[in-house]
């Protein structure tokens, strides 16, 4: 509708603003003999002023008169105004066509991702091979992350997703439990101040968490089993981005690196804002989670652009099927 209205507005404005022009016409009869008969030709020329239009049609008329053509109608000049009705029709049609094309392009951008190739095209090539999430794949994924990402210099990994509801929090909890079961001392942090959920997954109160630490309040880290510690989101008393921009966050992560082999951060979905970029930048890398049934190209490209903007490496991509 917006494109249609714009087309009509442009057409109407053009009709009012565009200057009138002049058309000169003449008709001649071409004599071809008894067998061939004769033919009448209409000559037309247009110009911005009447004299120019008349001269132009006379120039076109001279060759015919030199061949003994008969002048039927002498040159006449008429002033022409733009047609409001025609212009509105053309503008409306053009605007409607643009609107349809825009909707089609939008639908293509929002269409679901249908293959691993499209997923890689939207998010980029990850450090590790793209793999769907299956119970038997979790341990293998953890092993490959330990081999290729978690080093003495790199202990932190952000878990990101384009949209809410793609299973990011669930995967973060599963990965943390798998790392702990492999004997790796693991810290799982809920960095989603906008929609915290890890405390429910581990049946913990959402108090004295990361937001409280950044606000210089009392903090506690809960034990969720052997080798696994969990820090909930806590209660933010300031804007999430303002909290995350404080110097306490990099200082805390630097300290966590000294005590844990693996530090995983469950971040807010990219659609909720740029919070995930703060964590991804500090971690240096991110594991992207998508839901095969709902992932779309436009959202994934936005996530990819966000990771590029903060210079975070796409470490792995997990496509959930459940």
Residues 132 and 233 in one domain: yes
Residue 299 lies in a domain: yes
Residue 105 lies in a domain: no
* 244 has pLDDT over 70: yes
Smallest CA-to-CA distance from 87 within 15, 23, 22, 1 is with 15
Residue 304 lies in a domain: yes
More confident call, 292 vs 257: 257
* 8 has pLDDT over 70: no
Average pLDDT over residues 203-215: 96
Interval 29-76: pLDDT, tens: 776 554 444 567 777 888 777 788 778 878 887 887 777 676 767 778
Record the tokens describing residue 282, joined without a space. 């500090």
Interval 250-273: pLDDT, tens: 999 999 999 999 999 999 999 999
Query: In percent, how much of the chain has pLDDT > 70?
Result: 70
C-alpha pair distances (Å), 28 with each of 60, 67, 116, 121, 257:
11, 11, 70, 65, 95
Residue 292 lies in a domain: yes
Q: What's the number of domains the chain is made of?
A: 2
Residues 46 and 137 in one domain: no
Residues 72 and 166 in one domain: no
C-alpha pair distances (Å), 187 with each of 63, 82, 231, 232, 275:
94, 73, 8, 11, 20
Average pLDDT over residues 141-155: 93
Q: For the chain, first and last CA: distance in Å? A: 38
Residue 211 lies in a domain: yes
**Alpha-carbon gap, residue 60 to 65, rounded angstroms:** 10
* 185 has pLDDT over 70: yes
DSSP 274-314: THHHHHHHHHSEEEEEEETTT-BHHHHHHHHHHHHHTT-EE
What's the pTM?
A: 0.65
Residues 264 and 308 in one domain: yes
Query: In percent, how much of the chain has pLDDT > 90?
Result: 49
Look over the chain and give the mean of its residue pLDDT values, rounded to a whole number.
80
Average pLDDT over residues 171-200: 96
Interval 113-141: pLDDT, tens: 655 676 667 676 676 655 555 556 788 89
More confident call, 13 vs 306: 306
CB-based burial of residue 121 (10 Å sphere; 0-12 exposed, 13-18 middle, 19+ buried)?
A: middle
Domain extent for 33:
19-81
Residues 146 and 47 in one domain: no
In degrees rounded to 5, what are phi and psi of residue 159? -100, 120
More confident call, 212 vs 87: 212
Which residue among 31, 56, 81 closes a domain?
A: 81
Please say whether the beta carbons of 149 and 175 come within 8 A: no
CATH classification at residue 127: 3.40.50.300
The reported pLDDT for the residue numbered 20 is 62
Residue 6 lies in a domain: no
Residues 73 and 127 in one domain: no
The reported pLDDT for the residue numbered 176 is 97
The reported pLDDT for the residue numbered 79 is 73
**CA 92 from chain center: how many Å?**
28
Residue 218 lies in a domain: yes
* 187 has pLDDT over 60: yes
Across 46-55, 78-87, 227-236, 306-315, least confident range: 78-87
């Amino acid at each position: 509708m917006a494109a249609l209205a714009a087309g009509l507005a442009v057409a109407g404005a053009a009709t009012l603003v565009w200057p009138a022009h002049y058309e000169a016409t003449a008709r001649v009869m071409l004599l071809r003999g008894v067998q061939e008969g004769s033919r009448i030709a209409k000559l037309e020329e247009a110009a911005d002023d009447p004299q120019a239009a008349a001269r132009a049609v006379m120039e076109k008329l001279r060759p015919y008169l030199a061949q003994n053509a008969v002048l039927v109608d002498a040159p006449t000049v008429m002033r022409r105004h733009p047609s409001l009705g025609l212009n509105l029709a053309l503008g409306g049609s053009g605007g409607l066509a643009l609107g349809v094309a825009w909707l089609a392009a939008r639908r293509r951008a929002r269409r679901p991702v249908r293959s691993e190739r499209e997923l890689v095209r939207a998010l980029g090539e990850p450090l590790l091979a793209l793999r769907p999430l299956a119970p038997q794949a979790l341990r293998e994924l953890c092993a490959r992350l330990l081999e290729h990402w978690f080093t003495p210099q790199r202990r932190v990994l952000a878990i990101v997703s384009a949209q809410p509801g793609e299973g990011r929090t669930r995967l973060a909890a599963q990965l943390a439990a798998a790392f702990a079961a492999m004997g790796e001392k693991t810290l799982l942090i809920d960095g989603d101040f906008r929609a915290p959920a890890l405390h429910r997954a581990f049946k913990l109160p959402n108090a004295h968490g990361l937001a409280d630490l950044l606000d210089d309040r009392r903090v506690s880290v809960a034990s969720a089993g052997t080798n696994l510690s969990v820090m909930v989101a806590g209660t933010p008393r300031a804007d999430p981005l303002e909290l995350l921009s404080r110097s306490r966050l990099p200082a805390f992560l630097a300290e966590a690196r000294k005590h844990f082999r693996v530090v995983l951060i469950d971040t807010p979905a990219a659609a909720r804002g740029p919070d995930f970029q703060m964590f991804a930048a500090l971690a240096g890398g991110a594991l992207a989670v998508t839901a095969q049934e709902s992932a779309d190209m436009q959202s994934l490209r936005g996530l990819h652009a966000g990771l590029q903007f903060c210079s975070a490496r796409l470490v792995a991509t997990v496509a959930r099927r459940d």
